[in-house]
Amino acid sequence: MSLLAQLYSAIATETVEIVDLTAPLNESTPVLQLPEPFTNTINFQLEEISRYDERGPRWYWNNIHTGEHTGTHVDAPNHWVTGRDGHDVAGLPLRTLVAPAVVLDASARVADDPDYLLSIDDVRAWEGEHGPLPEGGWLLYRTGWDERSAEQNRFLNVDATGSHTPGVAADCARWLAEQTPIVGLGVETVGTDAGRAMELEPAFPCHELILGAGKCGLTQLRNLARLPATGALLMVCPLPIVGGSGSPARVLALVERG
């Protein structure tokens, strides 16, 4: 039996489970809200073209109105000024889009502190228990924030002092960008950076440093709690938008069971 036939058989018999990490995409999908004077993306919208009627008696279809960075989506390196000469979303290497993934779970810390920032020590402690970060793989940062993702106000968690969502400390972002073999960072929040990332040095360090290093971001993931700490295979499927800085994506993980 070929390797692909073995894989299909394992999926069919549920020895390998397909876990959907993607948030549903609709008009209520939370989107990032930047303060003035910056311009924000639009909410996702469907515009009906026809639905089995006089506009098209046998077919139903829609136009899609959305931003590149809406819902579960990929940040390509050229999304940020430091990565402007890097890949657009259509040019991302396929080995970046199909790659091993590991899960670092900081949900207990985030439950006590929504502004929690992942540290180098956190990652090194994880490595001490599970082994090194995967060469050419993804680090998925579990915070439990996906529990809020159906409700924009809870998801963005804004008060008079700003947005309070977890992220990555600036020195950790630099270390992940420059000294680890990962190809990208995935999170459950609206963006890879913390809600108060503008206050860090540099501001928005995941964007500034990780994208600047030619690596990718992946946001608004769900179901990371269903993945093991190591051993999953991630499959990221963005639209190949030529010149695009990102794209909504269907994100799946293959997990060996039993």
By annotation, the residues acting in catalysis are 79
Written as one string, the DSSP assignment of 67-134 is -TTSSSEEE-GGGSGGGTTS--GGG--HHHHEEEEEEEE-HHHHHH-TT-EE-HHHHHHHHHHH-SPP
In whole angstroms, how large is the CA radius of gyration of the chain? 19
Tokens of 47: 């515009």
Tokens of 194: 């913390």
Q: Are 173 and 205 in contact (CB under 8 A)?
A: yes
Written as one string, the DSSP assignment of 175-242 is HHHHHS--SEEEESSSSSS-TTGGGSSSSSHIIIIIITTT-EEEESB--GGGS-SS-EEEEEEE---T
Find the farthest-apart pair of alpha carbons in the chain and give their distance in angstroms, rounded.
Answer: 64
Q: Are 142 and 19 in contact (CB under 8 A)?
A: no
15: DSSP letter = S
Q: How far apart, in whole angstroms, are the C-alpha atoms of residue 45 and residue 47?
A: 7
Q: Are 218 and 249 in contact (CB under 8 A)?
A: yes
Question: Which among 108, 100, 109, 92 has a CA at the least distance from the CA of 133?
Answer: 100
